[in-house]
Structure 1
Amino acid sequence: MILSAIEHDAVRRPAEQLRRLGFEIVVCPADNQGAVCLESIEIELDENTFLVSTMLASNLTGTIQPVDIISKMARNVGALIHTDAAQAAGKLAIDVFDLDVDYLSMSAHKFGGPQGVGALFVAAQAPKPIDLTTAEPIEKNLSGTQPAALVAAMGRAAEISHQNMERETVHSIGLISLLEERLTGSGLRVERLFPSSPTVPGAAAFILDTPSTSDLIDALNTKICVSNASACHSGLLQPSPVLSALHLAHDKQQRFLRVGVGWWLTKRDIDEAVAVFAAASSKVRLATGELHR
């Protein structure tokens, strides 16, 4: 199996379990634009490759991955292809036929639906998940009642996202650009990661001129919801494996910040957030003695 070094734990951890069962797991590095290295995948692909898995968009940086190109490469050796579309669903127009994938997974809460429910697309010609396991039949591990309300809510959220996608794309791109502009104008030196790479609307990653974004987030005092890691890595002290895979030095990892904006925010919200950011940054720099230096 081949996967990229920037995959979410939802893919990384099952792959590690499969490694313990005897599968050979090949992890391909990222390039200098925040995407999986296509040359590395091409080198590793051969007739023994069973499955290639790569996310459609990075959960940390929003960078869109070349899944359509990777699927063509996988087809050439007869491998199956899975894409984790959790970060892209509801933000990008997704066509499983254009992507030519066998499996596509998504999570409802990423596009305005409820937590605790998601979907897996399985192509007609692809083996069904129940056919891919030699362990206990999947039916033995599933509850007998499907969460009908959650499924219905997910479907409705998908409908609404699809109907408003064009308008929300313009809105989200405008807000993230405004945020970057206002942060820079407030005296905070901000470096946007992979500025030339295509990203999902409203998602961006920054390196801030602050001693530590963990301290900055604490100083925000829950007034703004931002993150310097994926949710499953929040609170951990060790370096993020994904940030390391993106070739970020430890110093930049300490100053990394990911931001998401969307329909729930206005330009006024951005201005208010920047004011809070600036005040929190001054507080952190004062606490560390940086302002005196």
Structure 2
Amino acid sequence: MRQIYLDYNASTPIAPEVLDSMYPYLQGSYGNPSSSHWASATVKEALQTARASIAALLKCDPDEIVFTSGGSESNNYALKGVYFALKEKGNHIITTTVEHPAILNPCSFLERLGAKVTYVEVDETGSVSPEAIEAAITEQTILITVMHANNEVGTIQPLNEIAQIAKKHDIVFHSDAAQSVGKIPVHVDELGVDLLSIAGHKLYAPKGIGALYIRRGTPLESFIHGAGHERGMRAGTENVPYIVALGKAAELAVQALGGQSLHNLGRYFLDQLYARFGGLVKLNGSQDNRLPNTVNVSFVGLDGNDILSKIPQLAASTGSACHAGLTTISPVLKAMNVDEQTARGTIRFSVGRYTEQEELDEALQLLEKIILEN
């Protein structure tokens, strides 16, 4: 059987149209965007076009988009930038227990510099309560950061309600939207965020490119210092080919958002898992309020790593890791109070733009062979 890729939440392939858009800027259009001569004109225009495409996807102004090297840099810029800009006002940050390490680790770093961080717990679906966020606010709170959709279980957080709370208390609000952009509508004014992070390789663009939405007027200290690139907000000569790629990926995302392909494939796969494995399968996360492409299930009483090790042609992710004979479960599942035995049987399947139903059927057959016949 062919190789089957069901790990789109980890990384997406580069879309052919995206790859084609990069070639002119890898070959002939080599000028520095900061220069003022003929060789820079084309690349300057390319940056403007890409910025406008991303702004159209997020429904914001182009000058509110700053290009970065990816989601991790965008998150670091948001958290550290707000902390250093507002540290005279306060030192308290609020986040959740199910954030990506690209949020949790910067928070840990800032704690070493004197920040106080509150990690708000979530319910059994992985959702955080806006009331719990508000209860954590103190006079020193300067930033709330809550991911839009969880990368493991797909649960979508109530950002708009949290944004209203942040606005009421005059607190900057950031969201890591690496997993949601391109899968569901992500419009910054509807969500109410001040800062929002994007990762290109979750969006059919290359690894090594991302963007940070910065609402006009949001206090933010520069994260990388140098010359005045990106209107002085992010030093370093712009990576034009990759920025063009991200812009094209944003264009394609706008076109794809109206379709039902991801929803239909995700629903089909989950329904088939229930039909074929019955009580062996337990869905992790919200039944309805989750990313349409993400199916995180536990095969109760089994080991997810063991299952996937016997199906080498199937690419998916597990909910536990084994190091030196010791198994550690996902911090996200642990935060959701999934018991250790159930968590060990977890596999995250995530479909994408190029997934075919035939692939899902083949994957189901492979799983049946391992789970039911042994």
Secondary structure (helix, strand or coil) at the match of 1:220 reads coil
Give the drift of 1:126: 0.0
Partner of 2:289: 198
Secondary structure (helix, strand or coil) at the match of 1:264 reads coil
Q: Distance in 2 between matches of 1:177 and 1:257?
A: 16
Taking structure 1 as reference, are residues 144 and 177 closer, same or farther at Cα in structure 2, changes over 3 Å only? closer
Matches within 5 A, 1:143-292: 144-167=236-259, 170-187=260-277, 189-221=280-312, 223-229=313-319, 237-282=327-372, 286=374
Partner of 1:138: 225
Measured against aligned partners, the alpha-carbon deviations of 1:37-82 in whole angstroms (never above 9, x if no partner) come to: 3232111113311100000000011111011111111112111000
Q: Distance in 2 between matches of 1:235 and 1:148?
A: 40
Q: Quick check: 180-189 or 157-166, which moved more?
A: 180-189
Query: How high is the TM-score relative to the length of structure 2?
Result: 0.69
Taking structure 1 as reference, are residues 274 and 127 closer, same or farther at Cα in structure 2, changes over 3 Å only? same
Q: Distance in 2 between matches of 1:181 and 1:247?
A: 24
Q: Distance in 2 between matches of 1:85 and 1:240?
A: 20
RMSD: 2.0
The answer to whether the Cα contact below 8 Å between 1:6 and 1:36 also exists between their aligned partners in 2 is no
Secondary structure (helix, strand or coil) at the match of 1:204 reads strand
Q: Structure 2: which amino acid aligns with 1:190? A: V
Q: Distance in 1 between matches of 2:318 and 2:298?
A: 10
Measured against aligned partners, the alpha-carbon deviations of 1:100-140 in whole angstroms (never above 9, x if no partner) come to: 1111001011111111111000010101341xx7xxx6338
Note the residue ranges of structure 2 that are not aligned, 5 or more in a row: 1-92, 228-233
Secondary structure (helix, strand or coil) at the match of 1:42 reads helix
Aligned sequence identity (%): 27
Give the drift of 1:235: 5.4
Partner of 2:137: 45
Taking structure 1 as reference, are residues 7 and 106 closer, same or farther at Cα in structure 2, changes over 3 Å only? same
Q: Structure 2: which amino acid aligns with 1:242? A: V
Note the residue ranges of structure 1 that are not aligned, 5 or more in a row: 287-293
Matches within 5 A, 1:26-41: 26-41=118-133
Give the drift of 1:87: 0.4
Q: Structure 2: which amino acid aligns with 1:238? A: T
Q: Distance in 2 between matches of 1:266 and 1:245?
A: 33
The answer to whether the Cα contact below 8 Å between 1:45 and 1:74 also exists between their aligned partners in 2 is no
Q: Distance in 2 between matches of 1:143 and 1:10?
A: 21
Q: Distance in 2 between matches of 1:33 and 1:181?
A: 19
Give the drift of 1:200: 1.5
Q: Structure 2: which amino acid aligns with 1:207? A: S
Which of the pair has the greater relative contact order for Cα pairs under 8 Å at 6+ separation?
A: 2
